Amino acid sequence: METVQLDRDVFETRVPNGVTVVSERVAGVRSAAVGIWVRTASVHEPRHLMGVSHLLEHMVFKGTTQRSAREIALELEARGGSLDAYTSRDTTAFQARVLDADLPRALDVLTDLVRRPALRDADLDLERNVILEEINTVQDTPDDLVFDLTAEALWPDHPYGYSILGTRDTVTTLSTEDLRRLHDRAYHSANCVIAAAGNLEHGALLELVGAQGWLDTPNGNGRAPGSPPAAAAVRGREVRHPKDTAQTHIVLATEGVRFSDPRKFPLMVLSNVFGGGMSSRLFQRIREELGLAYAVYSFTSFHGHAGVLGVYVGTQPRTAAQAAEAIREEYDKLARGGLAPDALDQAKQQTQGQLTLMLESPTARMYRLAGLAVHGEPYRSLDQTLAQIAALTPREVADVAAEFFAPDRQTLVWLGPN
Question: Which residue, among 222, 250, 226, has the nearest Cα to 319 in the 3D structure?
Answer: 250
Is it the case that residue 70 has pLDDT exceeding 60? yes
DSSP code of 117?
B
Q: Does residue 279 come out as left (phi exceeding 0), alpha (psi in the -120 to 50 range) or beta?
A: alpha
Note the pLDDT of residue 165. Answer: 98
Per-residue pLDDT of 207-226, as tens digits, reads 999 999 999 876 555 556 66
How distant is the alpha carbon of residue 42 from its chain centre? 12
What's the pLDDT score for residue 224? 60
Mean pLDDT score of the chain: 95
Report pLDDT digits (tens) over 217-267: 765 555 566 667 777 899 999 999 999 999 999 999 999 999 999 999 999
User: pLDDT tens digits, residue range 322-344?
Assistant: 999 999 999 999 999 999 999 99
User: What percent of the chain has a predicted confidence (pLDDT) above 70?
Assistant: 98
Greatest alpha-carbon pair distance for the chain in Å reads 63
**Contact in structure between 337 and 270 (CB atoms under 8 Å):** no
Question: What is the arithmetic mean of pLDDT over 315-321?
Answer: 98
pLDDT beyond 90 at 272: yes
Q: Mind listing the pLDDT tens digit for each residue in 169-193? A: 999 999 999 999 999 999 999 999 9
Catalytic residue set: 57
Separation in Å, CA 170 to CA 50, 56, 190: 6, 14, 28
The 10 Å Cβ neighbour count of residue 216 is 12
- How far is the C-alpha of 152 from the C-alpha of 160, rounded, in Å? 8
> Full-prediction pTM beyond 0.85?
yes
